[in-house]
Structure 1
Amino acid sequence: MSTSINVEQRRLKYLTHEPLAYGANEAALDDNPDWPRFVRITDIHENGTLRDETFRSLSPDVAEPYLLQKGDVLFARSGATVGKTFIYRPAWGQACFAGYLIRFRSAQELVLPEFIYFFSQSDIYWRQIKLGTIQATIQNFSAEKYAELVVCLPPLNTQRLIVDYLDSETARIDGLIAEKERMLTLLEEKRAALLSRVVTRGLDTTVPLKPSGQEWLGEIPAHWGLQRLKQLAEVRGGLTLGKRYSGELLEYPYLRVANVQDGYLKLDDVLTVEVPASEAASNLLAYGDVLMNEGGDIDKLGRGCVWREEVTPCLHQNHVFAVRPHSVDSDWLALWTSTLEAKRYFESRAKRSTNLASISGSNVKELPVPLPPINEQRAIGRFLAGRHSRLENLRRELRESLRLLAERRVALITAAVNGLIPLERMLG
């Protein structure tokens, strides 16, 4: 016979050792390793750890009122990360927290901080966050709203049992998730390596090679040509917003960097703009244009795909180049710009600003393009399409498996914190 767990409902504000507190409204400018770490939303990894590469610190005198203690739980209060949580462990070293985070310090005679952290990963918690989120210019969830959250609260000794059980069970699920994510990474590396090898060396590994004259490219098949992009296509800039127009305005779909992915278009969030027809005319996309990104994250530089009039008529912003081929096949050009070698070219000529980068139209025009005979280009394209289709099927299966594991994790946590898992099961 299963032993039931008594669960009462208490608001978060009645489980605190002290009122919920906002963090320091300071700029993250320093990275002194001897100062307290300045924890921001962007530092918190999805797995609950801190990212090493984003380390920032505050001077001890500024950090002092915001220093974290063991078991402090941080709640994100604004932006797309509303509801995201983090539990502080002293192993990460002395740390303070930023203004877009809210600190919960538990009254440990009532609730374990680890229990609150697990509760914040349950469906019960996220339903309340969704219902209470204020949507203005950005999402917002204040300390006052967090204080009113209803927590399912078992007795303290049962909380410890639930935390220990979830530590063990979620670690097992997280291990499976990490393994499948590694498999996805390996598949992507395999796809990228295959693409680069075939597009720079061809399908026949026995053909003689010749120096390309480009150190970053190396050798190419002796019977291939090599020309600058400016000799093969017109590189067209896009529409710059911000101008004031008079007269009749027409509405057009408008592609941004976010829409241009590596090898495909993401069309679920296409914006529209209103401009005169005369202004739009010189920026309209044409079938066969190869879209290439001018800026954004460093890994987005130059990536692109072929425009096949998926939405027509359509404009593109000034941060997306429309490369209009006249002496090269669009599909071949799109394959070439997706190779590791082409990406190295773009990265080597990019202008960088913090974590963003951009490449000029003049540097895009100077991109060397390997040119096999047209029949060989098409054969390579068919070969890669078949291989990529098989790899994509494997990726789809892995993503579905990851989705099911994530759902299973949330369902397990939800059942446990709500007292729906029998004590015998957690003890056994």
Structure 2
Amino acid sequence: MNVASFDPRSLRFPGNYELVRLGYVARLQNGLTVDAKRDVTGDVVTRPYLRVANVQAGSLNLESVTEITVPRSIARRSTLRPGDVLMTEGGDLDKLGRGTVWRGELEGCLHQNHIFAIRPDPQRLSGRFLAYLTQSLYGRCYFESTGTRTTNLASTNSSKIQSFPLPLPPLEEQRRIAGYLDAETARLDKLVTLQLSTRNKLDERERAFRDSLIDELASSCGELPLRRFVTKVEQGESPQCEAVPRQGEYEWGVLKLSAVKQGRFDHRENKRLPEEIAPTRAYEVRPGDLLVTRANTPSLVGDVAVVTDDAQRLLLPDLIYRIGLVRGVEAAFVAQVALSSRVRLLIESAARGSSQSMVKLRGEDIKEWPIPTATPVQQRTFLAEVERGAESTNRLRAAVDRQLSVLIERRQALITAAVTGQLGVTTARQDTPA
């Protein structure tokens, strides 16, 4: 079951549950705004500072926490306390409003204004119970239906968070439910971690096989920089588009960065071009085009894909390059070489940017990629061998992905049943299969 098929109106809460708005049983604390003009002389303090990037869905990432210097009075109003439930103001729609409990991991830690700190009334509400409730299908339905959507992100606000209707059992039962879910989700999370580890090993196996084929080909026929095989490197434009993908056969769309990912092209990843904007036909992508992401996160910049036959009326954006190749060099061959470990290392060393969230590649950087000087016959033979090697890996990967989907769905269903009173936690261990 997912958010789209879940109807919270069908729930029947136990008789000892009451339905109250979050604002009645918790206080919302706003964070501080970074202000370069703020006076930081006099009575000031330097404290760790939690940003949106540190707050994940149901967990925290504290590997990189910055510090900020502010007047003591401002710090006092934005200091986190153990037991606070953190919620982000904006982000991906499916992560909006997901609560994470702050357990005092960093002493005196402050939080950004795009993070809300929910401070439960200790006599009425358990923070752990609230965090699980926001992760349930019940919570997801509320936050996804009330969130404000923009082109790339979604957002909520303090009023919507405080209006969240809580199905609230007695405090002792909240604690019992949270304790039960701590144990059960930890068990499921271990299984998820195991499946993810298996998937990573399959990815490594695929890379190692591809690398060995490329090394063998390069040693037999030599290699040259990609510039020797390139006729053009062009980027498109990014007009103001609507967030939804194109709907009809005759509409135009602009590709999103996510259309190019790890050698695969997804024509569904696009934004609708408004009818009043005329498409620049020169930027229309066509089957067989070789695409390379110009700007992205460090792990995704330089991703490649070949446009497939299902691409129609789609335009090249300015954050994706289209690489023209000389006759006799297949785009699919260059794409596979670009996925090799050696080229990825070159991309990591050449990528430029002031932020770890977005780096860029120049066309000249791409032209330095080493490409085996294979004949058309050798290229086709190489591609056939890569495809044969990938078949078994893909079957195993699909099986792992199915297991992951089942585990993730079961986790959310278990949380939903427990926090809404559909599953009695006193007998759940006997009733729930291992």
TM-score, with structure 2 as normaliser:
0.81
Find the counterpart in structure 2 of residue 370 from structure 1.
372
Cα distance 1:329–1:84, how it changes in 2: closer, same or farther (>3 A)?
same
Say yes or no: does 1:38 pair with 2:49. Answer: yes
User: For the residues of structure 2 that align with 1:427 and 1:377, how far apart are their CA atoms?
Assistant: 57
CA contact (8 A) 1:5 1:419 kept: no
Displacement of 1:40: 2.2
1:240 to 232, 237, 240: 237
Cα distance 1:56–1:368, how it changes in 2: closer, same or farther (>3 A)?
same
Secondary structure at 2:56 match in 1: coil
Cα distance 1:239–1:130, how it changes in 2: closer, same or farther (>3 A)?
closer
Find the counterpart in structure 2 of residue 77 from structure 1.
89
Displacement of 1:6: 2.5
Displacement of 1:47: 4.6
**Identical amino acids, percent of aligned pairs:** 22
Cα distance 1:198–1:229, how it changes in 2: closer, same or farther (>3 A)?
same
Find the counterpart in structure 2 of residue 89 from structure 1.
103
Find the counterpart in structure 2 of residue 119 from structure 1.
133
AA aligned opposite 2:361: I
2:188 to 166, 173, 189: 173
Say yes or no: does 1:56 pair with 2:66. Answer: yes
Cα distance 1:142–1:348, how it changes in 2: closer, same or farther (>3 A)?
closer
Gaps of at least 5 residues in structure 2 are 1-13, 37-44, 241-249
Secondary structure at 2:135 match in 1: coil
Find the counterpart in structure 1 of residue 334 from structure 2.
333
User: For the residues of structure 2 that align with 1:152 and 1:255, how far apart are their CA atoms?
Assistant: 42
Cα distance 1:331–1:93, how it changes in 2: closer, same or farther (>3 A)?
same
Find the counterpart in structure 1 of residue 21 from structure 2.
11
Secondary structure at 1:393 match in 2: helix
Find the counterpart in structure 1 of residue 320 from structure 2.
320
Aligned residues: 392
User: For the residues of structure 2 that align with 1:176 and 1:336, how far apart are their CA atoms?
Assistant: 34
Secondary structure at 2:332 match in 1: helix
CA contact (8 A) 1:162 1:426 kept: no
Cα distance 1:252–1:42, how it changes in 2: closer, same or farther (>3 A)?
same
Find the counterpart in structure 1 of residue 148 from structure 2.
134
Find the counterpart in structure 1 of residue 221 from structure 2.
224
CA contact (8 A) 1:161 1:426 kept: no
AA aligned opposite 1:336: V
Displacement of 1:140: 3.2
Q: Bigger shift: 110-119 or 267-276?
A: 267-276
2:406 to 404, 407, 412: 404
Secondary structure at 1:322 match in 2: strand
Cα distance 1:133–1:286, how it changes in 2: closer, same or farther (>3 A)?
closer
Q: Where in structure 1 do 4 or more consecutive aligned residues deviate above 4 Å? A: 272-277
Find the counterpart in structure 2 of residue 298 from structure 1.
298
Find the counterpart in structure 2 of residue 212 from structure 1.
none
CA contact (8 A) 1:235 1:361 kept: no
Displacement of 1:88: 0.4
Cα distance 1:351–1:134, how it changes in 2: closer, same or farther (>3 A)?
closer
Deviations 1:239-265 (A, max 9, x none): 23569xxxxxx9744334332222111
CA contact (8 A) 1:5 1:422 kept: no
CA contact (8 A) 2:48 2:110 kept: yes
Find the counterpart in structure 2 of residue 425 from structure 1.
427
Displacement of 1:103: 1.7
Displacement of 1:43: 0.8
Displacement of 1:380: 2.2
CA contact (8 A) 2:287 2:311 kept: no
Cα distance 1:194–1:148, how it changes in 2: closer, same or farther (>3 A)?
same
CA contact (8 A) 1:41 1:101 kept: yes
Cα distance 1:193–1:92, how it changes in 2: closer, same or farther (>3 A)?
farther
CA contact (8 A) 2:99 2:130 kept: no
Displacement of 1:317: 2.5
Secondary structure at 2:67 match in 1: coil
AA aligned opposite 1:160: R
Gaps of at least 5 residues in structure 1 are 29-33, 203-219, 244-249
Cα distance 1:419–1:272, how it changes in 2: closer, same or farther (>3 A)?
closer
Cα distance 1:406–1:369, how it changes in 2: closer, same or farther (>3 A)?
same
Displacement of 1:87: 0.8
Find the counterpart in structure 2 of residue 153 from structure 1.
168
Q: Which has the larger radius of gyration?
A: 1
Displacement of 1:67: 0.8
Say yes or no: does 1:394 pair with 2:396. Answer: yes
Secondary structure at 1:57 match in 2: strand
Displacement of 1:168: 0.8
Cα distance 1:66–1:233, how it changes in 2: closer, same or farther (>3 A)?
same
Find the counterpart in structure 2 of residue 25 from structure 1.
33
Secondary structure at 1:105 match in 2: strand
Secondary structure at 1:166 match in 2: helix
Cα distance 1:426–1:311, how it changes in 2: closer, same or farther (>3 A)?
closer
Cα distance 1:294–1:174, how it changes in 2: closer, same or farther (>3 A)?
same
